[in-house]
Amino acid sequence: MIKLENIWKVYQLGKVELTILKGIDLEIHPGNFVVILGPSGSGKSTLLYIIGLLDTPTKGRVFLEGRDTSWFSENELAQVRGKKIGFIFQQFNLLPNLNALENVMVPMVFQNIPEKERLARAEFLLSSVGLKERILHRPFELSGGEQQRIAIARALSNNPEVIVADEPTGNLDSTTGQKIMEILINLHKKEQKTIIVVTHDPQIADYSEEIVNIKDGQLISNHFVKEKVLWGK
């Protein structure tokens, strides 16, 4: 599904170069549930943004379904992101002036999906994450867990093959965080979505099939999990 070859990310801060990623090689196969685990400042979020085509590497190549994305135009990248990749962020990134239903419909507008279809799909997705009774509420009227569930519904609006999540439980209490992870597990098991989650929390790794450890911008280990502590709960 996604292949990274010798990925470097370097920022120029005046006369100083800040190297965030250092020669990352990684393959993510279709249908896998991958957790990228690392401490704060390890480069894991930068890596996720490159995987999700939200950012480009300073050096190296990112392949999506065998295609070298370095040759994609900005318009092509936007189209791929809109159709194939769904994004979930720690800060939710909901539009405050729109209600839950409207927030979920936004990505479909950019794909020129007819309004009737947008409305029906947004209602279905919000119902599927347990927010059927909250669809007309705005973000400030909802709890953090409810806002994150809206963000998940929004990420699914264009039925992407890949879901990337940056610290999706970071602003939530442990019980709510577990419920969010269970939603992601359900998407993986029932809809065969490829799920990629970035976290600093080792407990989140218990949900995964594959754990990628990153430290100081380098991939230090990559292994498959034989037994999942919380899988299926």
Q: What is the mean pLDDT of residues 42-56?
A: 92
pTM across the whole model: 0.86
DSSP string across the chain: -EEEEEEEEEEEETTEEEEEEEEEEEEE-TT-EEEEE--TTSSHHHHHHHHTTSS--SEEEEEETTEEGGG--HHHHHHHHHHHEEEEETT----TTS-HHHHHHHHHHHTT--HHHHHHHHHHHHHHTT-GGGTT--GGGS-HHHHHHHHHHHHTTT--SEEEEESTTTTS-HHHHHHHHHHHHHHHHHH--EEEEEES-GGGGGG-SEEEEEETTEEEEEEE-SS-SSTT-
Q: Report which of residues 8 and 208 the model is more confident about.
A: 8
In CATH terms, 29-60+73-224 corresponds, of 3.30.565.10, 3.30.460.80, 3.30.70.100, 3.40.50.300, to 3.40.50.300
Q: What is the mean pLDDT of residues 33-55?
A: 91
The stretch 197-224 carries a mean pLDDT of: 86
Q: Would you state the pLDDT for residue 22?
A: 94
**pLDDT (tens digit per residue) in 207-219:** 788 899 999 999 9
According to the model, what pLDDT value does residue 157 have? Answer: 92
For the chain, the structural domain boundaries read 29-60+73-224
> What are the φ and ψ backbone dihedral angles of 19, each rounded to 5 degrees?
-95, 115
CA distance 180 to 129: 9
Confidence tier at 171 by pLDDT (50, 70, 90):
confident
Of the chain, the end-to-end C-alpha distance in Å amounts to 27
Contact predicate 228/208, CB 8 Å: yes
Does the structure show a pLDDT above 80 at 116? yes
